[in-house]
Amino acid sequence: MAVTIYHEQDCDPSIIQGKKVAIIGYGSQGHAHALNLMDSGCDVRVGLREGSSSADKAREAGLKVTDMATAAKEANVIMILTPDETQPAVYKEFVEPNLEAGDTLCFAHGFNIHYGYIKAPEDVNVIMIAPKGPGHIVRRQYTEGSGVPDLACVYQDATGDAWDIALSYAWGLGGARSGIIKSTFKDETEEDLFGEQAVLCGGLVEMIKAGFETLTEAGYPEELAYFEVYHEMKMIVDLMYESGIHFMNYSISNTAEYGEYYAGPKVINDESRRAMKEILARIQDGSFAQEFVDDCNDGHKWLLEQREAINEHPIEKTGEKIRSMFSWIKK
């Protein structure tokens, strides 16, 4: 299915420049949204909790900082960029009481709208502008004159111009420099979660761990195993990122390329594909979302246990030692 991609000539910058924008949260995405929009000539304020450690950073960057409720009350475009699990409470306490008819409620991920954890009143717009990259890259590319592609979508159009507002906001982020892809809350949420779980985070980390464990259990030194299955991963991904799989294959040896075609289907086999389909089904029916929310309500018990386990894995201990040898890696 083809998608529609929009560029700078499709956006009206004056729309977002004529709005009062509130960025709720100043983490990875929050700082990028706030600074890029400010540098694009927008009237931006950052809403933070009382005593937030991010307040001084935002002020030093030249941003107006207020509490969350005041930011929401002052603005007519409110972007909520706190973590997914905190958004429903932040919305209920600080944003919802200060919404007015015709306001635009914004998100960078569709989780809470799609799964119904946040329900906006019918007289406000609900849109999403989701940069396809972490916040520090969104900011860096903007300052370098380029931009990270954005997904943009409208869940609720109360004013009749919600799509134009979404395009203009994405322009302010720098997304129109590379491309704004029209999507839906459903597609963005489900595809994003699947990518994170099956490939980018879950699949990749488990594959690296399994490769490391296979080599070390067979008696190979941990340091060499680290280089083969962990350190060189970035080099391979960088080649694919820059010019595609075909360019990566051109850059590696014939031996490595032959091994790719021979061994790849043995690792990612029919059983792996069935697992991917099961993962996608749990995302689509909402059971993953509910499991995640339940763990959040239990103080992140399971999440913290898994985090501690990976932090103590031998590959992390080995990696820390190896990386300390590299003077070019920033600590």
List active site positions.
109
Phi then psi for residue 315, to 5 deg, are: -65, -30
Residues 6+ apart with CB under 8 A from 186: 110, 114
What is the C-alpha to C-alpha distance for residues 315 and 225, in angstroms, rounded to an integer? 9
Please report, in angstroms and rounded to a whole number, the separation of the first and last CA atoms in the chain: 43
Place of tokens 């940069």: 131
**What is the side-by-side order of every strand in the sheet holding 5-6?**
5-6, 180-182, 150-156, 125-131, 104-107, 77-80, 20-24, 43-48, 64-67
Give, in degrees to the nearest 5, the angle at Cα 199 between 177 and 292.
95
Phi then psi for residue 312, to 5 deg, are: -95, 0
Residues 6+ apart with CB under 8 A from 57: 26, 31
